[in-house]
A and B are shown apart, each in its own frame.
Chain A
Amino acid sequence: MHAPVVFQYQRALDAFRREGGSPPLLKRMSELISLLDLTTTLNSSLSGAEILDAALLIVMGQLPATRGALFVRGEDGGYRVQASRGLPAGAPAQIDLEPLAGPEVIFRRQGACAEAFDAYGLDVLCPIFKADRPIAVLGLGARADGHPFDDEEAAFLQSVAACAATPIENGLIYHELKRVNQRLSVKVFQLHNLFDVSRELTSSFDDEAIESLVTTTLMGHLMVSRCVLYRTADGRLGLAHARGVRREDLGRAFTEAEAQPVLERLRAPLSVAELPPGPVRERLASSGLALVVPLSAGQNAEGFLAVGERVSGLPFTEEDREFAQTLARQAVAALESVRLHRLSVEQQRRDREMQIAREIQQSLFPRSCPEIPGFEVAALSHPCQEVGGDHYDVIPLEGGRLALAVADVSGKGAPASILMASVHASLRALAGSSPPAALMGRLNQFMLASTQENKYVTLFYAELDPATRRVVYVNGGHVPPCRVRVDGRSERLLAGGPALGLLAGADYESGEAVLEPGEVLAVMTDGMTEAASPEDREFGDEGVLRVLRAHRSQGAQAVLDALVRSVQAWTGPAGCSDDLTALVLKAL
């Protein structure tokens, strides 16, 4: 410890005094002892703040002065009080000084640095230089013995400055190192947290869990006790998550007009005061929120996180803002992946529904066409990607007769296939029970009663008596079937009425045709006649007739195959956009 060494010199001084040593010399010795005391103190193992404090006290004791302050120059050039005694109440913690020319002591009476002298009630300032650069200033108030400061004191103070410069600078460097180290530790902790959170976010599958995690992490890191998360949905900006804030205070969603100016402004974290004025800013401010961090995937923010002031009262640092922004980006990515996951689940659900619709549709087709003397029947329905509402049926009637039906329900998917199922059931129940025209009337009434307004069915229905070769048919708004005679002449079966389910009390008329051996009758749906070529030209009635004429000498199945092949060739690799359904009746 330094006390014994100083003590020995002090004893020598005492002896010198007893022997009548001259006072100026005694004073000089005393100053040298103080400097020795100071130097040993400055080199001691005390902490930085304690060293500065001890140094100040040594100088104040030596002069003596009742008021003193040690200012240390900061990075911004201002001088901050690091140690002080007896300063007037309300003295500022920091002050700017005019540039200091050199290490010469400045007296109050010289007029320089008047602001500092006044603010702290000082009489003398002693700059402490380290290699041409001021690093600190020692200031003292009036001497307790009433003497003014003179050149002797100035010399002592300059000696003090020379001794103190290096230890003070070391202290500053140590301080700076500690600060850098602290910032580094915060960064490391931030990285740990971001890693921790991102791992958890990628395994989260609901919005609530993500929002909860992001808000707690942000609160813990920034040391805030309030955090809210707003997200836009359908144009409105609504509260998705709140902690430390009463939900009722923030409950109502903001309209698009209210939210838009704020979201456009939010490119980076902003303080609430920096937001454009309006209801969003007002409500955030009144709930004690201070910093707003955008949640943005691309250009525009789709919401934000807002946190309250730090509980410590310290301002948010650049690191805080960076951390919040990085966390917000991760949250957006996680929320987006949840949304995509939901979409894919939704798509799977639609696919399943479509699969069910297809199964219903397929189950309604007859397993095989009945054998009838003198005729051949072939039919097929070829589904496209989406399940449409095509249907055909062949129903044996009493007396060897046969009912033939081809229908097309409006719409697609499950609703269409369910409607088709009811048409199928009605046809099966009613076929042969009354003449075809009357039967169509009844089906129309049934459809009107049981379906929605915008749903309808086109139906071609015919009854064939193989004994007389006579076909009685009704065309309910369906694509007119084609009849091709042996000599190649053709005709369309048009007699009937409107599609089923459109007009209450619609009248249906029936038509007749007697099919001579070799004649072909083909009933299609519009998926075949409207099939488009890559140049967007329809296959049309002409296409159908061309195939029928070319293949009319062949059997029903061969004609049907030719039709389907021709349509597929017509549409090319793009395929059909609608179901392909056709029924071919061939008189032998």
Chain B
Amino acid sequence: MAELTVETRDVEGVTLLYPKGFINAHTVRVFEGEIQKALAQGRFKIVVNCGGLAYIASAGLGAIMGAIEEIRGNGGDLRLANLNETVRNIFEILGFNHLYRIYASEVEAITSFRRAEEAGS
């Protein structure tokens, strides 16, 4: 069984990533590859739905850090949703929660992008 699978989906112009399993040093390339694929297609509104994510190591956080300047520089953002307790603890230990917007559910994360657009228009 693969340690990590990442499904992707597009909803209302927002790219959703569904990592399932463990993002660690071994699997980080899969995760980073999906982020880079979205960026290559000019998709800068990204929501990572962490519902299936059991654990994330530094390498995984690094993949996000490495992409965030490009994402925000293009007017987009990477937001997180549906974190389990373990993943939320990791984010809080490192202060990741201060750098990224985290939502309880995928729907809230998607609508947060829409609200920003409405406010902007």
Judge: A and B partners, yes or no.
yes
The B46-66 residues at the A interface (CB cut-off 8 A) are: 57-66
Residues in A whose Cβ lies below 8 Å from that of B93: 182, 185-186, 189
Q: Which of A217-225, A352-360, A385-393, A477-485 contacts B (4 or more CB under 8 A)?
A: A217-225
Partner of A219, one of B26, B29, B66, B70: B66
A146 to chain B, nearest CB (A): 44
The closest CB in chain A to the CB of B90 belongs to A189
Known: A223-B99, A224-B65, A226-B69; 14 extra A-B contacts, CB below 8 A, are: A189-B94, A196-B26, A197-B57, A197-B59, A200-B25, A216-B28, A216-B63, A216-B66, A219-B65, A225-B68, A227-B62, A244-B66, A244-B69, A311-B99
State A199–B57 Cα separation when bound (angstroms): 13
A252 to chain B, nearest CB (A): 23
Interface string of B78-95 (1 = CB under 8 A from A): 000000000001100111
Residue B115 interfacial (CB < 8 Å): no
Residues in B whose Cβ lies below 8 Å from that of A199: 25-26
Residue A213 interfacial (CB < 8 Å): yes
A196 touches B25 (CB 8 A): yes
Residue B98 interfacial (CB < 8 Å): yes
A215 touches B62 (CB 8 A): yes
Residues in A whose Cβ lies below 8 Å from that of B62: 215-221, 227
Residue B77 interfacial (CB < 8 Å): no
Q: A189-B93, A217-B25, A312-B95 are in contact. Are A243 and B59 (CB under 8 A)?
A: no
Interface string of A212-248 (1 = CB under 8 A from B): 1101111111011111000000000000000110000
Interface residues in A, total, Cβ within 8 A? 30
The B21-55 residues at the A interface (CB cut-off 8 A) are: 24-26, 28-29, 32
State A224–B89 Cα separation when bound (angstroms): 19
Interface of A is mostly: helix
State A200–B66 Cα separation when bound (angstroms): 20
B112 to chain A, nearest CB (A): 20
Q: A217-B58, A217-B59 are in contact. Are A223 and B94 (CB under 8 A)?
A: yes
Interface of B is mostly: helix
Residue B96 interfacial (CB < 8 Å): yes
B58 to chain A, nearest CB (A): 4
A220 touches B26 (CB 8 A): no
Residues in A whose Cβ lies below 8 Å from that of B99: 223, 311-312
A221 touches B32 (CB 8 A): no
A190 to chain B, nearest CB (A): 8
The closest CB in chain A to the CB of B72 belongs to A225
A193 touches B94 (CB 8 A): no
Give chain A's interface residues, CB within 8 Å of chain B: 182, 185-186, 189, 192-193, 196-197, 199-201, 212-213, 215-221, 223-227, 243-244, 311-312, 314
Interface string of B97-111 (1 = CB under 8 A from A): 011000000000000
Residues in B whose Cβ lies below 8 Å from that of A221: 58, 61-62, 94
State A219–B58 Cα separation when bound (angstroms): 8
The closest CB in chain A to the CB of B66 belongs to A243
B57 touches A225 (CB 8 A): no
State A136–B34 Cα separation when bound (angstroms): 52
B98 to chain A, nearest CB (A): 6
State A213–B68 Cα separation when bound (angstroms): 18
Residues in B whose Cβ lies below 8 Å from that of A223: 61, 65, 94-96, 99
Residues in B whose Cβ lies below 8 Å from that of A186: 93-94
A196 touches B96 (CB 8 A): no
A220 touches B61 (CB 8 A): yes
The closest CB in chain B to the CB of A213 belongs to B25
Residues in A whose Cβ lies below 8 Å from that of B63: 216, 220
A185 touches B89 (CB 8 A): yes
A357 to chain B, nearest CB (A): 42
Partner of B64, one of A189, A196, A215, A220: A220
A327 to chain B, nearest CB (A): 9
A193 touches B26 (CB 8 A): no
Partner of B28, one of A213, A227, A314: A213
State A275–B98 Cα separation when bound (angstroms): 31
Residues in B whose Cβ lies below 8 Å from that of A192: 57
State A197–B58 Cα separation when bound (angstroms): 9
B58 touches A220 (CB 8 A): yes
Residues in A whose Cβ lies below 8 Å from that of B69: 225-226, 244
The closest CB in chain B to the CB of A182 belongs to B93
A220 touches B59 (CB 8 A): yes
